[in-house]
Structure 1
Protein backbone atom coordinates (compact mmCIF):
# COMPACT_ATOMS: atom_id res chain seq x y z
CA UNK A 1 0.00 0.00 0.00
CA UNK A 2 1.46 3.36 -1.02
CA UNK A 3 0.88 6.69 0.72
CA UNK A 4 -0.68 8.29 -2.38
CA UNK A 5 -3.42 5.64 -2.34
CA UNK A 6 -4.69 6.54 1.12
CA UNK A 7 -3.56 10.10 1.91
CA UNK A 8 -5.98 12.98 2.36
CA UNK A 9 -5.43 15.62 -0.30
CA UNK A 10 -5.54 18.49 -0.15
CA UNK A 11 -4.63 18.63 3.52
CA UNK A 12 -6.22 21.10 5.89
CA UNK A 13 -3.39 23.58 6.42
CA UNK A 14 -2.67 26.89 8.06
CA UNK A 15 -0.42 29.79 7.09
CA UNK A 16 2.65 30.47 9.21
CA UNK A 17 1.43 33.99 10.03
CA UNK A 18 -1.95 32.84 11.35
CA UNK A 19 -3.05 33.51 14.89
CA UNK A 20 -3.26 30.76 17.47
CA UNK A 21 -7.02 31.27 17.72
CA UNK A 22 -7.34 30.48 14.01
CA UNK A 23 -5.39 27.25 14.50
CA UNK A 24 -7.52 26.17 17.46
CA UNK A 25 -10.65 26.87 15.41
CA UNK A 26 -9.37 24.72 12.53
CA UNK A 27 -8.27 21.86 14.79
CA UNK A 28 -11.68 21.80 16.46
CA UNK A 29 -13.93 22.41 13.45
CA UNK A 30 -12.13 20.08 11.03
CA UNK A 31 -11.55 17.43 13.71
CA UNK A 32 -7.90 16.99 12.81
CA UNK A 33 -5.01 16.33 15.17
CA UNK A 34 -2.32 18.13 13.22
CA UNK A 35 -2.12 21.18 10.95
CA UNK A 36 0.68 21.49 8.41
CA UNK A 37 2.02 25.06 8.54
CA UNK A 38 2.87 26.55 5.15
CA UNK A 39 4.39 29.73 3.72
CA UNK A 40 3.12 31.84 0.81
CA UNK A 41 4.41 29.24 -1.70
CA UNK A 42 2.64 26.37 0.09
CA UNK A 43 6.00 25.03 1.27
CA UNK A 44 5.86 23.12 4.54
CA UNK A 45 7.61 25.11 7.29
CA UNK A 46 6.34 23.19 10.31
CA UNK A 47 3.37 21.51 11.94
CA UNK A 48 1.06 22.46 14.75
CA UNK A 49 -0.37 19.53 16.69
CA UNK A 50 -2.96 19.27 19.40
CA UNK A 51 -0.09 18.65 21.83
CA UNK A 52 1.65 21.88 20.80
CA UNK A 53 -1.55 23.77 21.63
CA UNK A 54 -2.34 21.88 24.82
CA UNK A 55 1.14 22.47 26.25
CA UNK A 56 0.66 26.23 26.11
CA UNK A 57 -3.04 27.00 25.97
CA UNK A 58 -4.52 25.05 28.91
CA UNK A 59 -4.00 26.62 32.31
CA UNK A 60 -4.21 24.81 35.65
CA UNK A 61 -7.51 25.36 37.46
CA UNK A 62 -6.99 26.82 40.94
CA UNK A 63 -10.18 25.12 42.16
CA UNK A 64 -8.45 21.74 41.85
CA UNK A 65 -5.46 22.75 43.96
CA UNK A 66 -4.99 23.61 47.59
CA UNK A 67 -2.11 26.00 46.92
CA UNK A 68 -1.97 29.29 45.04
CA UNK A 69 -0.87 29.07 41.42
CA UNK A 70 1.99 31.18 40.05
CA UNK A 71 1.25 33.90 37.51
CA UNK A 72 0.60 32.53 34.06
CA UNK A 73 3.08 33.06 31.26
CA UNK A 74 1.66 35.06 28.35
CA UNK A 75 -0.44 33.05 25.91
CA UNK A 76 1.21 32.67 22.52
CA UNK A 77 -0.49 34.76 19.87
CA UNK A 78 0.95 33.24 16.70
CA UNK A 79 1.46 29.63 15.76
CA UNK A 80 5.13 30.17 14.94
CA UNK A 81 5.73 30.56 18.68
CA UNK A 82 4.69 26.99 19.43
CA UNK A 83 4.72 25.01 16.16
CA UNK A 84 7.14 22.16 15.60
CA UNK A 85 9.74 22.98 12.99
CA UNK A 86 11.47 20.27 10.94
CA UNK A 87 8.58 17.78 11.28
CA UNK A 88 8.55 14.15 10.20
CA UNK A 89 7.31 13.99 6.59
CA UNK A 90 6.74 11.37 3.93
CA UNK A 91 6.35 11.20 0.15
CA UNK A 92 3.53 10.01 -2.08
CA UNK A 93 5.43 6.89 -3.14
CA UNK A 94 6.39 5.77 0.38
CA UNK A 95 5.31 2.37 1.68
CA UNK A 96 2.54 2.67 4.28
CA UNK A 97 4.14 -0.21 6.22
CA UNK A 98 7.10 2.09 6.96
CA UNK A 99 4.71 4.74 8.31
CA UNK A 100 3.09 2.18 10.58
CA UNK A 101 6.49 1.72 12.24
CA UNK A 102 6.69 5.50 12.81
CA UNK A 103 3.16 5.60 14.24
CA UNK A 104 3.86 2.65 16.54
CA UNK A 105 7.20 3.99 17.80
CA UNK A 106 6.13 7.60 18.38
CA UNK A 107 3.12 9.58 19.54
CA UNK A 108 2.65 10.98 16.03
CA UNK A 109 -0.89 10.60 14.66
CA UNK A 110 -0.53 12.31 11.26
CA UNK A 111 2.34 12.94 8.86
CA UNK A 112 2.46 15.60 6.13
CA UNK A 113 3.04 14.33 2.59
CA UNK A 114 5.43 16.48 0.57
CA UNK A 115 6.77 16.63 -2.96
CA UNK A 116 10.10 18.37 -2.46
CA UNK A 117 9.10 21.15 -0.05
CA UNK A 118 5.54 21.41 -1.41
CA UNK A 119 2.72 20.12 0.78
CA UNK A 120 0.53 17.72 -1.23
CA UNK A 121 -1.46 15.94 1.48
CA UNK A 122 -1.46 14.32 4.88
CA UNK A 123 -1.67 10.71 6.02
CA UNK A 124 -2.95 9.62 9.42
CA UNK A 125 -3.39 6.47 11.43
CA UNK A 126 -7.11 6.77 10.68
CA UNK A 127 -6.42 6.79 6.93
CA UNK A 128 -4.65 3.45 7.29
CA UNK A 129 -7.50 1.97 9.33
CA UNK A 130 -10.05 3.13 6.73
CA UNK A 131 -7.97 1.52 3.96
CA UNK A 132 -8.13 -1.81 5.80
CA UNK A 133 -11.91 -1.60 6.22
CA UNK A 134 -13.25 -3.41 3.16
CA UNK A 135 -15.45 -6.46 2.82
CA UNK A 136 -13.96 -9.73 1.62
CA UNK A 137 -16.34 -9.71 -1.36
CA UNK A 138 -15.24 -6.22 -2.40
CA UNK A 139 -11.59 -7.20 -2.07
CA UNK A 140 -12.05 -10.40 -4.07
CA UNK A 141 -13.85 -8.54 -6.88
CA UNK A 142 -11.05 -5.98 -7.09
CA UNK A 143 -8.36 -8.67 -6.93
CA UNK A 144 -9.98 -10.57 -9.80
CA UNK A 145 -10.12 -7.38 -11.84
CA UNK A 146 -6.50 -6.44 -11.12
CA UNK A 147 -5.26 -9.98 -11.81
CA UNK A 148 -7.13 -9.90 -15.14
CA UNK A 149 -5.53 -6.55 -16.01
CA UNK A 150 -2.11 -8.15 -15.53
CA UNK A 151 -3.00 -11.35 -17.42
CA UNK A 152 -2.88 -13.45 -14.25
CA UNK A 153 -6.29 -15.16 -14.48
CA UNK A 154 -4.80 -18.64 -13.99
CA UNK A 155 -4.65 -18.15 -10.22
CA UNK A 156 -7.50 -19.03 -7.88
CA UNK A 157 -8.15 -16.35 -5.26
CA UNK A 158 -9.91 -16.59 -1.91
CA UNK A 159 -10.27 -13.82 0.67
CA UNK A 160 -11.13 -14.28 4.33
CA UNK A 161 -10.88 -11.41 6.85
CA UNK A 162 -8.62 -9.50 4.44
CA UNK A 163 -6.21 -12.43 4.05
CA UNK A 164 -5.76 -13.46 0.42
CA UNK A 165 -4.94 -17.04 -0.50
CA UNK A 166 -3.52 -17.52 -3.98
CA UNK A 167 -3.73 -21.06 -5.33
CA UNK A 168 -2.24 -22.41 -8.49
CA UNK A 169 0.91 -23.66 -10.11
CA UNK A 170 3.66 -21.61 -11.60
CA UNK A 171 7.31 -20.72 -11.30
CA UNK A 172 8.68 -18.97 -8.25
CA UNK A 173 8.79 -15.76 -10.31
CA UNK A 174 5.13 -16.17 -11.37
CA UNK A 175 4.13 -16.71 -7.74
CA UNK A 176 6.14 -13.65 -6.61
CA UNK A 177 4.38 -11.54 -9.25
CA UNK A 178 0.98 -12.77 -8.09
CA UNK A 179 1.82 -11.98 -4.47
CA UNK A 180 3.05 -8.49 -5.42
CA UNK A 181 -0.16 -7.81 -7.34
CA UNK A 182 -2.32 -8.94 -4.43
CA UNK A 183 -0.36 -6.83 -1.93
CA UNK A 184 -0.93 -3.74 -4.08
CA UNK A 185 -4.70 -3.84 -3.50
CA UNK A 186 -5.95 -1.57 -0.72
CA UNK A 187 -7.39 -3.51 2.18
CA UNK A 188 -5.34 -6.68 1.69
CA UNK A 189 -3.85 -7.49 5.08
CA UNK A 190 -1.84 -10.61 4.29
CA UNK A 191 -1.13 -12.80 1.26
CA UNK A 192 -0.34 -16.49 1.30
CA UNK A 193 0.14 -19.00 -1.48
CA UNK A 194 -0.78 -22.66 -1.87
CA UNK A 195 0.08 -25.13 -4.59
CA UNK A 196 -3.02 -26.31 -6.38
CA UNK A 197 -3.26 -30.07 -6.02
Structure 2
Protein backbone atom coordinates (compact mmCIF):
# COMPACT_ATOMS: atom_id res chain seq x y z
CA UNK A 1 0.00 0.00 0.00
CA UNK A 2 1.12 3.54 -0.72
CA UNK A 3 1.07 6.15 2.03
CA UNK A 4 -1.53 8.81 1.37
CA UNK A 5 -2.07 12.34 2.62
CA UNK A 6 0.86 12.37 5.01
CA UNK A 7 2.56 15.39 3.47
CA UNK A 8 1.46 18.75 2.14
CA UNK A 9 2.70 17.79 -1.33
CA UNK A 10 0.16 14.97 -1.53
CA UNK A 11 -2.72 17.38 -0.89
CA UNK A 12 -1.70 20.69 -2.41
CA UNK A 13 -2.99 22.27 -5.60
CA UNK A 14 -0.18 22.50 -8.15
CA UNK A 15 -1.76 25.06 -10.45
CA UNK A 16 -1.38 28.29 -8.50
CA UNK A 17 -2.48 31.82 -9.27
CA UNK A 18 -0.06 34.49 -8.04
CA UNK A 19 0.72 38.16 -8.63
CA UNK A 20 3.90 40.18 -8.87
CA UNK A 21 4.81 42.83 -6.33
CA UNK A 22 3.89 45.59 -8.84
CA UNK A 23 0.34 44.35 -9.45
CA UNK A 24 -2.14 47.18 -8.83
CA UNK A 25 -4.99 47.19 -6.32
CA UNK A 26 -7.42 46.62 -9.19
CA UNK A 27 -5.38 43.78 -10.69
CA UNK A 28 -5.20 42.01 -7.33
CA UNK A 29 -8.92 42.46 -6.76
CA UNK A 30 -9.78 41.20 -10.25
CA UNK A 31 -7.53 38.15 -9.83
CA UNK A 32 -9.04 37.27 -6.45
CA UNK A 33 -12.56 37.50 -7.88
CA UNK A 34 -11.78 35.70 -11.13
CA UNK A 35 -10.22 32.70 -9.41
CA UNK A 36 -12.55 32.79 -6.38
CA UNK A 37 -9.71 32.68 -3.85
CA UNK A 38 -9.23 34.71 -0.67
CA UNK A 39 -5.48 35.33 -0.94
CA UNK A 40 -2.65 35.30 -3.48
CA UNK A 41 1.08 34.67 -3.15
CA UNK A 42 3.16 37.69 -4.16
CA UNK A 43 6.25 36.83 -6.18
CA UNK A 44 9.53 38.61 -6.72
CA UNK A 45 10.76 38.89 -10.29
CA UNK A 46 12.64 35.57 -10.01
CA UNK A 47 9.56 33.67 -8.82
CA UNK A 48 10.32 33.51 -5.11
CA UNK A 49 7.46 34.03 -2.68
CA UNK A 50 7.93 37.31 -0.80
CA UNK A 51 4.49 37.81 0.71
CA UNK A 52 0.77 37.15 0.53
CA UNK A 53 -1.95 39.64 -0.34
CA UNK A 54 -5.46 38.84 0.84
CA UNK A 55 -8.98 40.22 0.69
CA UNK A 56 -8.40 41.49 4.22
CA UNK A 57 -5.30 43.41 3.06
CA UNK A 58 -7.33 45.09 0.32
CA UNK A 59 -10.11 46.00 2.73
CA UNK A 60 -7.61 47.42 5.23
CA UNK A 61 -5.96 49.52 2.52
CA UNK A 62 -9.32 50.77 1.29
CA UNK A 63 -10.39 51.61 4.84
CA UNK A 64 -7.17 53.48 5.72
CA UNK A 65 -6.60 55.21 2.39
CA UNK A 66 -9.98 55.47 0.66
CA UNK A 67 -8.82 58.17 -1.74
CA UNK A 68 -5.50 56.52 -2.64
CA UNK A 69 -6.31 52.78 -2.42
CA UNK A 70 -6.28 52.35 -6.20
CA UNK A 71 -2.65 53.53 -6.32
CA UNK A 72 -1.37 50.80 -3.99
CA UNK A 73 0.50 47.76 -5.30
CA UNK A 74 0.55 44.17 -4.07
CA UNK A 75 4.02 44.80 -2.66
CA UNK A 76 2.69 47.67 -0.53
CA UNK A 77 -0.40 45.82 0.71
CA UNK A 78 0.95 42.29 1.25
CA UNK A 79 1.66 40.59 4.55
CA UNK A 80 5.35 39.76 4.82
CA UNK A 81 7.27 37.64 5.29
CA UNK A 82 4.90 35.08 3.84
CA UNK A 83 3.92 32.14 6.02
CA UNK A 84 4.87 29.23 3.79
CA UNK A 85 5.21 25.47 4.06
CA UNK A 86 7.30 22.89 2.18
CA UNK A 87 5.81 20.09 0.10
CA UNK A 88 7.46 17.43 2.26
CA UNK A 89 6.12 18.96 5.50
CA UNK A 90 3.58 16.89 7.47
CA UNK A 91 -0.03 17.97 6.96
CA UNK A 92 -0.29 18.63 10.70
CA UNK A 93 2.44 21.27 10.42
CA UNK A 94 0.45 23.13 7.76
CA UNK A 95 -2.70 22.89 9.87
CA UNK A 96 -0.90 24.35 12.90
CA UNK A 97 0.54 27.21 10.82
CA UNK A 98 -2.93 28.04 9.48
CA UNK A 99 -4.47 27.92 12.94
CA UNK A 100 -1.75 30.13 14.48
CA UNK A 101 -2.03 32.75 11.74
CA UNK A 102 -5.80 32.44 11.20
CA UNK A 103 -5.02 31.69 7.55
CA UNK A 104 -7.12 29.94 4.91
CA UNK A 105 -4.33 29.12 2.44
CA UNK A 106 -0.56 28.64 2.52
CA UNK A 107 1.90 28.95 -0.36
CA UNK A 108 3.95 25.77 -0.77
CA UNK A 109 7.59 26.44 -1.62
CA UNK A 110 10.73 24.48 -2.42
CA UNK A 111 14.05 24.80 -0.59
CA UNK A 112 14.83 28.05 -2.40
CA UNK A 113 11.40 29.62 -1.73
CA UNK A 114 10.13 29.15 -5.29
CA UNK A 115 6.37 28.61 -5.45
CA UNK A 116 5.36 25.00 -6.22
CA UNK A 117 1.75 24.93 -5.05
CA UNK A 118 -0.79 26.10 -2.51
CA UNK A 119 -2.58 24.21 0.26
CA UNK A 120 -5.92 25.27 1.70
CA UNK A 121 -8.00 24.39 4.74
CA UNK A 122 -10.24 22.39 2.42
CA UNK A 123 -7.26 20.40 1.17
CA UNK A 124 -6.26 19.52 4.73
CA UNK A 125 -9.79 18.42 5.56
CA UNK A 126 -9.54 15.75 2.84
CA UNK A 127 -7.66 13.55 5.31
CA UNK A 128 -10.90 13.23 7.26
CA UNK A 129 -12.84 12.15 4.17
CA UNK A 130 -10.95 8.91 3.71
CA UNK A 131 -12.97 5.74 3.36
CA UNK A 132 -12.82 3.33 6.27
CA UNK A 133 -11.25 0.76 3.97
CA UNK A 134 -8.45 3.16 3.05
CA UNK A 135 -7.94 4.14 6.67
CA UNK A 136 -7.69 0.52 7.83
CA UNK A 137 -5.23 -0.17 5.01
CA UNK A 138 -3.05 2.74 6.09
CA UNK A 139 -3.03 1.48 9.70
CA UNK A 140 -2.05 -2.02 8.51
CA UNK A 141 0.78 -0.47 6.50
CA UNK A 142 2.02 1.42 9.57
CA UNK A 143 1.87 -1.75 11.71
CA UNK A 144 3.83 -3.71 9.10
CA UNK A 145 6.44 -0.97 8.98
CA UNK A 146 6.82 -1.00 12.77
CA UNK A 147 6.29 -4.60 13.93
CA UNK A 148 7.74 -7.89 12.83
CA UNK A 149 5.58 -9.52 10.10
CA UNK A 150 4.34 -12.26 12.44
CA UNK A 151 3.31 -9.69 15.04
CA UNK A 152 1.54 -7.48 12.50
CA UNK A 153 -0.33 -10.42 10.99
CA UNK A 154 -1.68 -11.34 14.45
CA UNK A 155 -3.50 -8.00 14.64
CA UNK A 156 -6.81 -7.41 12.89
CA UNK A 157 -7.61 -3.82 11.92
CA UNK A 158 -11.15 -2.50 11.54
CA UNK A 159 -12.25 1.06 10.85
CA UNK A 160 -15.73 2.52 11.15
CA UNK A 161 -16.47 6.22 10.74
CA UNK A 162 -12.80 6.95 11.38
CA UNK A 163 -12.70 4.91 14.61
CA UNK A 164 -10.06 2.19 14.45
CA UNK A 165 -10.25 -1.03 16.47
CA UNK A 166 -7.33 -3.41 16.80
CA UNK A 167 -8.15 -6.97 17.81
CA UNK A 168 -6.03 -10.10 18.06
CA UNK A 169 -2.85 -10.77 19.97
CA UNK A 170 0.16 -8.81 21.08
CA UNK A 171 3.31 -10.49 22.41
CA UNK A 172 4.11 -7.55 24.66
CA UNK A 173 1.40 -5.73 26.66
CA UNK A 174 3.86 -2.92 27.40
CA UNK A 175 3.82 -2.00 23.69
CA UNK A 176 0.11 -1.09 23.74
CA UNK A 177 0.60 2.65 24.46
CA UNK A 178 3.10 2.90 21.60
CA UNK A 179 0.71 1.08 19.25
CA UNK A 180 -2.10 3.42 20.21
CA UNK A 181 0.08 6.48 19.53
CA UNK A 182 1.10 5.00 16.17
CA UNK A 183 -2.52 4.51 15.09
CA UNK A 184 -3.67 7.91 16.36
CA UNK A 185 -0.94 9.55 14.27
CA UNK A 186 -2.46 8.22 11.03
CA UNK A 187 -4.26 11.13 9.27
CA UNK A 188 -8.03 10.70 9.46
CA UNK A 189 -8.14 8.51 12.58
CA UNK A 190 -10.77 9.87 14.96
CA UNK A 191 -10.41 7.38 17.82
CA UNK A 192 -8.62 4.14 18.68
CA UNK A 193 -9.73 1.07 20.64
CA UNK A 194 -7.30 -1.70 21.49
CA UNK A 195 -8.69 -5.18 22.12
CA UNK A 196 -5.41 -7.04 22.03
CA UNK A 197 -4.80 -10.04 24.25
CA UNK A 198 -1.47 -11.54 25.27
CA UNK A 199 -1.08 -15.10 23.95
CA UNK A 200 -1.03 -17.74 26.68
Give the shorter-chain TM-score range. Answer: 0.7 to 0.9
**2:25 matched to 1:20?**
yes
Bigger mean CA offset, 1-10 vs 172-181: 172-181
Name the counterpart of 1:121: 117
- How many residues are treated as equivalent by the alignment? 185
Name the counterpart of 2:15: 10
Bigger mean CA offset, 156-165 vs 4-13: 4-13
**TM-score, scaled relative to structure 2:** 0.73
Name the counterpart of 1:40: 45
Structure 2, unmatched stretches of 5+, are: 1-5
Quote the Cα distance in structure 1 between the aligned partners of 2:11 and 2:102.
Answer: 20
Quote the Cα distance in structure 1 between the aligned partners of 2:180 and 2:54.
Answer: 41
Bigger mean CA offset, 96-105 vs 79-88: 96-105
Q: Deviations over 1:87-119 (max 9, x none)?
A: 212222323223333333332221222222112
Deviation of 1:138 after TM superposition, in Å, equals 4.0
Quote the Cα distance in structure 1 between the aligned partners of 2:105 and 2:175.
Answer: 37
Q: Deviations over 1:36-60 (max 9, x none)?
A: 111232211111111111212469x
User: Which of 109, 130, 135 in structure 1 is aligned with 2:131?
Assistant: 135
Deviation of 1:24 after TM superposition, in Å, equals 1.5
Q: Deviations over 1:124-155 (max 9, x none)?
A: 221111221123244335555x3697454432
Q: Helix, strand or coil: the match of 2:52?
A: strand
**TM-score, scaled relative to structure 1:** 0.74
Name the counterpart of 2:3: none
User: Which of 61, 64, 76 in structure 2 is aligned with 1:81?
Assistant: 76
Name the counterpart of 1:66: none
Q: CA RMSD in A?
A: 3.2
Structure 1, unmatched stretches of 5+, are: 60-69
Name the counterpart of 1:164: 164
Residue pair 1:6, 1:127 contacting (<8 A) in 2 also: yes
Quote the Cα distance in structure 1 between the aligned partners of 2:20 and 2:128.
Answer: 33
